[in-house]
Structure 1
Amino acid sequence: MAALLEIKDLHAYYGKSHVLHGVDLQVGEGEIVSLLGRNGVGRSTTVKSTMGQVDVTGSIKFKGEEISGLKAFEIAYKGLGYVPENRDVFPTLTVEQNLILGEKNGKGAKKKPRWTLDDMYQMFPRLKERQHTAAGVLSGGEQQMLTLCRTLMGDPDLIMIDEPTEGLAPKIVDLVAEYLKALKNRGISILLVEQKLAIAMEISQRVYVMGHGAIVFEGTPDDLRANAAIRKEWLEV
């Protein structure tokens, strides 16, 4: 399988603080890969670094092209989407206005995007019901749906999603899992940062486990199920 995203020997810094220590990671075309680990081990920093938001050394290649050192908007135009953990919606704009802002226009835009407003509303009927509502008054689950959909409107080939199920009701968590599988079926690769082991194990083809800013395990969900020592040391509370 061709690597769409390939990270090698990635080191990241917040000022003088050295957070990532030589991370190697890749995501293939049409693949869901989960990045697991406890809070504070560097998972969010890994995706922020990939999106050009953190000072790094090392190599980050997307579609074979080095993107380390580019600005976030330049990386987005190349087809890399990012859904942050804090659900950044524009609170005073309506649901529909938020989605339209996500569309890729101008330089770097493809002729025909894969996704339309109707696609978003079909996938999440709740957003259609709330299309004229200000995003700031949506529930946490609705804001999560909106952030995911707004990123999709930019027509990414790979989407990095940071803790999409954090703080959501179990029913909405199941909906998000189905949504991620639907994206994969439409040819979009996913790098998922997730605390809920059950979801990651259900939908991923491969998993990485992080500890102290480094990758401590790489394999299939079955490999991780069979490795009690890794689970106990790096995942279980």
Structure 2
Amino acid sequence: MSETAASEMLKIRGLHAYYGKSHVLRGVDMDVPKGSVTALLGRNGVGRSTTAKAIMGEVAPKGDIWFKGKNISGLPSHAIAQLGLGYVPENRDVFPMMSVRDNLLLGIKDMRKALKWTIDDMLDMFPNLKSRADTPAGVLSGGEKQMLTICRTLMGDPDLIIIDEPTEGLAPKIVTQVGQLITEIAKAGVSILLVEQKLSIALKIAQHVYVMGHGEIVYHGSPEEFRKRDDIRREWLEV
């Protein structure tokens, strides 16, 4: 492996993925630097969530996926997670009959290991969860469930988190809170791959922007550079 590849937290080269005979990802190249928020933008159905699932081994990948210097392409999902890659899928699954506190406890991978994040840290980050720590998770609002799934993933002490569509269907106030939480996580040194459709939140908190169209990366640059590219926004993002 090259020194360049090792310098990235996540490095993807020539990633292809299929659903049956449908060729969804068509040679995706992408880098997620250490300690950064990297946004993957695009319309629905272009392959953004499939990219996340291929990285995590939930969809069979073809190509190279390097994480912390190790090629993880084709490894089972549990092995990828044990290496320090966290995943927050878009469906916001919680254990509805269990309390918020117990949901957080389930995120811990190794009880013998000193925790970088504690339950108190998580509850302090999001006061709405703190006030409902002993409430069954099933009665939480959509925004609270989103916060809980992010915090539960953090309890596993990941080096990188893939967060898929965290603001989908949320009220503007909760969108802002989700953005603040993601920013705090990044400040703590966790790298983030943010799969998002809302430009406002992505451009505010990301340092690197990728745009996907038809299973391929069609643009890569900084948020500042992207703001100057009306052509990219019109062709690949606007409905």
TM range (shorter): over 0.9
Alignment of 1:63-82 (within 5 A): 63-82=68-87
Distance 1:8 1:167 in 2: 32
TM-score by length of 1: 0.96
Q: Deviations over 1:165-200 (max 9, x none)?
A: 111111111111111111111000000011110111
Counterpart for residue 112 of structure 1: 114
Counterpart for residue 180 of structure 1: 182
Distance 2:75 2:104 in 1: 25
Question: Which residue among 38, 54, 59 is the counterpart of 1:33?
Answer: 38
Counterpart for residue 45 of structure 1: 50
Q: Which runs of 5+ in 2 are unaligned?
A: none
Q: Which runs of 5+ in 1 are unaligned?
A: none
User: Partner of 1:156: helix, strand, or coil?
Assistant: coil
User: Partner of 1:119: helix, strand, or coil?
Assistant: helix
Task: Give the superposition deviation at 1:159.
Answer: 0.4
- Residue identity opposite 2:205 in structure 1: I
Alignment of 1:183-222 (within 5 A): 183-222=185-224
Alignment of 1:83-232 (within 5 A): 83-105=88-110, 111-232=113-234
Distance 1:96 1:192 in 2: 25
After superposing on structure 2, the runs of 4+ consecutive aligned residues of structure 1 that deviate more than 6 Å are none
Task: Give the superposition deviation at 1:99.
Answer: 0.4
- Residue identity opposite 1:29 in structure 2: K
Distance 1:72 1:54 in 2: 10
User: Partner of 2:64: helix, strand, or coil?
Assistant: strand
TM-score by length of 2: 0.96
- Residue identity opposite 1:31 in structure 2: S
User: Partner of 1:24: helix, strand, or coil?
Assistant: strand
Provide the alpha-carbon RMSD of the alignment.
1.1
Question: Which residue among 7, 19, 28 is the counterpart of 1:14?
Answer: 19
- Residue identity opposite 2:152 in structure 1: R
Structure 1 window deviating more from structure 2 (19-28 vs 127-136): it is 127-136
Contact 2:55 2:61 in 1 (8 A): no
Task: Give the superposition deviation at 1:71.
Answer: 1.0
Number of matched residues? Answer: 234
Q: Deviations over 1:52-89 (max 9, x none)?
A: 00012100110010111111111111000000000011
User: Partner of 1:52: helix, strand, or coil?
Assistant: coil
- Residue identity opposite 1:91 in structure 2: P
Task: Give the superposition deviation at 1:132.
Answer: 1.3
Q: Deviations over 1:216-236 (max 9, x none)?
A: 000001111111111110011
Structure 1 window deviating more from structure 2 (44-53 vs 123-132): it is 123-132
